[in-house]
Amino acid sequence: MSNSLVLNNYLDEQSAKIKTKLVPWEGYQRAGLITSEELARIKKVDKQSKAKIESLLLSEGQAYTLLYLGLLKKLQRVDTMQCILVLIGDALIDHEERIALFTRASETDPELPYGPLLKALETQDDFVQLKSTQILTILLSSYSTPLPQQVIQPFLVTLAAFVQGPTPNKRDVAVQCLEALLPRPETRKAVWRIPGVIAGLKDILGHKPGPQMSYQVVFCFWLLTFDQEVAEQLNKKYDVIPLLTDVAQNAVKEKVIRVVVATFRNLVTKAPSANLPAMLVAQLLPFAKNLSTRKWTDEDIAEDVAFLRDELNARFQSLTTYDEYSSELTSGHLSWTPVHESDDFWKENATKLNDSDYAQLKILVKLLRESEDPVVLAVAAHDVGQYVKHYPQGKKILTDLGAKTRVMELMTHPDPNVRYQALVSVQRLVSHPWAVV
């Protein structure tokens, strides 16, 4: 990784302003907060030219590394912390060879380099938080061994707060940090254990950001899907397949489509049974067929699209009609596909909802109770009615599951189609077997 990967205009602009501010170094020395030796050394770089600072770092790099980190550890004033973080950032950015100077600081003090930087994340100042985040990412991404858990865990918790929060600069920096750290297997596993990260990434995509942010967020998802557990559980827990499909369908940049398709390929390769049904429900097959007719500048995308199209097509060809219904039900994205309105389908398959201790019926009732989508509610209410029409004995089961009460509530829903389907279902639920409509 280039250690200048985490770039942000706000950080650059604020850093330039901070360099012009005065820091009361002499006052710190008089108060006994820093030594006369530390004062002499910091004055050599404070408000000095870039060339002079570079020369000092070249000859006394380790001494200045320990000085910066030591000052950050013991000085708590925000403006002073800002200044020290700018000096650390300038020493590191575009100087990969200096990373080792910082990581070796632990030989002098085991709390260094990470202790003061992690503590800085708790400061209620955006610049201090973001600059510390940038520096931590540079240091952590350089590791050739597994990352220390006592560092990566609190750092990822901070990144989760950033991606979920309302501040654009924090989201921007956090996404770039994740891009830099997620190539590491242990980071992928750690992120999976912190739900806020993935929920935050999904929320960013849901607000339709620009092409660059869309690409970066999906890139994070792509990296995450190299982990087997993530590939198996990601869509089940976070319902990302419909969202990623929508991102690709609306993308204006080829690179966005490329990284979405690459993510889908990982999901299919690592966990086909967990992801192919949801992809079919999301209408990814016709989209993949459409993509396969386009001309691409990148050969990889053509190969990934062909793979996706062929896998989806093979799955589609082997599906029974009930498999299609089951996939749609499991995905939670009910819509007016032909199976719902086919009387023959319900005549043949209504009792299959009873299999495995009513597993599919329970999913249908769960959607009826929890969904906020009027289309899903209307279809679910309709399906409940179809189920009891063709399996009257199911009325008691539905009542026990709370479906009857919920359908009656939906008779006053704001959406007219939901009200209508709920009314029809209620009629079937309360009628006697010999009078079923």
pLDDT at site 112? 95
Which DSSP symbol is given to 207?
A: T
- Per-residue model confidence (pLDDT) at position 299: 86
What pLDDT is recorded for position 228?
Answer: 97
Rounded Cα gap, residues 330 and 364, in angstroms: 9
Q: What is the pLDDT of residues 41-64, one digit of tens each?
A: 999 999 999 999 999 999 999 999
Distance CA 244, CA 277 (A): 15
> pLDDT value at position 37?
96
Q: What is the pLDDT of residues 226-254, one digit of tens each?
A: 999 999 999 989 999 999 999 999 999 99
Tell which residue, 266, 271, 212, 211, has the closest CA to residue 236: 271
Give the separation between CA 35 and CA 287, rounded to whole angstroms: 67
**Amino acid identity for residue 372 in this structure:** E
Cis status of the peptide bond prior to 211, with omega within 30 of 0: no
- At 149 the pLDDT is 87
Rounded CA gap, 297 and 384, in Å?
49
Q: Tokens at residue 305, please? A: 């699209």
- Angle at CA 328, nearest 5°, toward 326 and 329? 65
User: What's residue 433's pLDDT?
Assistant: 53
User: Tens digit of pLDDT per residue, the chain (437 long)?
Assistant: 445 569 999 999 999 999 999 999 999 999 999 999 999 999 999 999 999 999 999 999 999 999 999 999 999 999 999 999 999 999 998 899 999 999 999 999 999 999 999 999 999 999 999 999 999 999 999 988 888 889 999 999 999 999 999 999 999 999 999 999 999 999 999 999 998 999 999 999 999 999 999 999 999 999 999 999 999 999 989 999 999 999 999 999 999 999 999 999 999 999 998 899 899 889 999 999 999 999 999 889 999 999 999 999 998 887 778 888 988 898 888 888 888 888 888 999 999 999 999 999 999 999 999 999 999 999 999 999 999 999 999 999 999 999 999 999 999 999 999 999 999 999 999 886 544 43
CA Rg, the chain, in Å? 29
pLDDT of residue 434: 43
* DSSP code per residue over 162-186: HHHSS-HHHHHHHHHHHHHHTTSHH
CA distances in angstroms from 413 to 52, 195, 237, 262, 286, listed in the order given: 71, 32, 28, 41, 34
Within the chain, which residue ranges are assigned CATH 1.25.40.150?
Answer: 334-435
Residue 118 in tokens: 């992690």
Determine the Cα–Cα distance for residues 155 and 163; give it in Å rounded to an integer: 13
The pLDDT value given to residue 435? 41
b/e sequence 72-99, b meaning 16+ C-beta within 10 Å? bbebeeeebbbbbbbbbbbbbbebeebb
Which CATH number is 334-435's, of 1.10.3720.10, 3.10.20.30, 3.20.20.10, 1.25.40.150? Answer: 1.25.40.150
Q: Name the pTM for this structure.
A: 0.83
